[in-house]
Amino acid sequence: MSKKIPESFKEYLHTLQAKPGKPVSLTDDFKTCCHEKPVPEYDIKAMLKKSISQLSTMQDKLYAHDKYGVLIVLQAMDAAGKDGAIKHVMKGLNPQGVKVWSFKSPNSIELDHDYFWRHYSALPARGEIGIFNRSHYENVLVTRVHPEYVMNEKLPGIEKVDDITPEFWQSRYEQINRFEKNLHENGTIVLKFFLHISKEEQRKRFLERIDNPSKNWKLSPADSKERKLWDNYMHAYEEMISATTSGIAPWYIIPSDDKWFARFCIASVIVAETKKLDLKYPEVDDKKRADLLKIKEDLLNE
């Protein structure tokens, strides 16, 4: 069984990246399932294991290098596999250096601040990996589909839903781009993944959650209600991705009808992008080396 990742797959990963300045069509440009996978079907789990090993090495160097943090943003429709991706892709990493934040509806304290406020304190420090399971993008996704939620933010000039114009959303996209540009310029690498699932696959996974007692808790009437707004969400995602993908904070649209292939794609993108950082263990100077040799001598002489 081959565990070497073929060049064809590395080239395939580039096709999953949204291009800056190009409008995104989730129907025409990106598929929810890769029927002709550029890797052998039977080898995906083995190669995922190799990618996880590479991520572990990367994490160790990231911590020692101490100049960069890595922020991984996961967005998707319900049941697309965000939790599973976190569980399987990150399982080989040191939990001390990985922080996962799952952002729910903002509470009253959070609503008394700007919508970035609750995300600032969750950002990874240098040497750490942070994962946002849903993120600041909810403020141009769920609020785009339900603009009445914006009223809870008590924004100046927004007195009624009709005050929320297309210019309002464009302004928010620009705010997000500035936010991520600031992160990038200060050493945080931002990698964004949209787990692209089909409506039919979501239906199958919802039914599985109903039929499996151990997964009943994962489904609620609210999930079914949001499913009825599928087209609205797809439109919101298309506009959001088109407006906020960039060379410094790219969006990757991951075909997610096949869970294991999606996990492999995510892990492979993280490996490829962090390799560009040229992370290295710190080199010691002559004095430090001499100190280490003296310590070694003392230990050997005990």
* Tokens representing residue 252 in the block: 């990757």
Q: What is the pLDDT of residues 34-53, one digit of tens each?
A: 887 777 777 888 889 999 99
- CB 74, CB 134: distance < 8 Å: yes
DSSP 8-state code for residue 135? -
Cα torsion angle, 88, 270, 122, 83, sign: negative
SS3 (DSSP) at 132: strand
Q: What is the pLDDT of residues 255-274, one digit of tens each?
A: 999 999 999 999 999 999 99
pTM of the model: 0.93
How many Å apart are CA 128 and CA 69, to the nearest integer?
5
CB atoms within 10 A of CB 118: 17
Please choose, from the candidates 32, 45, 133, the residue with its C-alpha nearest in 3D space to the C-alpha of residue 82.
133
Give the domains, in start order, of the chain with CATH numbers: 7-300 (3.40.50.300)
Please give the residue that has the higher pLDDT: either 81 or 2.
Answer: 81
* H helix intervals, 121-197: 142-145, 166-185
How many Å apart are CA 74 and CA 131, to the nearest integer?
7
* Sheet of strand 251-255, all strands in order from the earlier edge strand to the far edge: 98-102, 129-133, 69-76, 188-196, 251-255
* Weakest mean pLDDT among 2-11, 160-169, 174-183, 185-194: 2-11
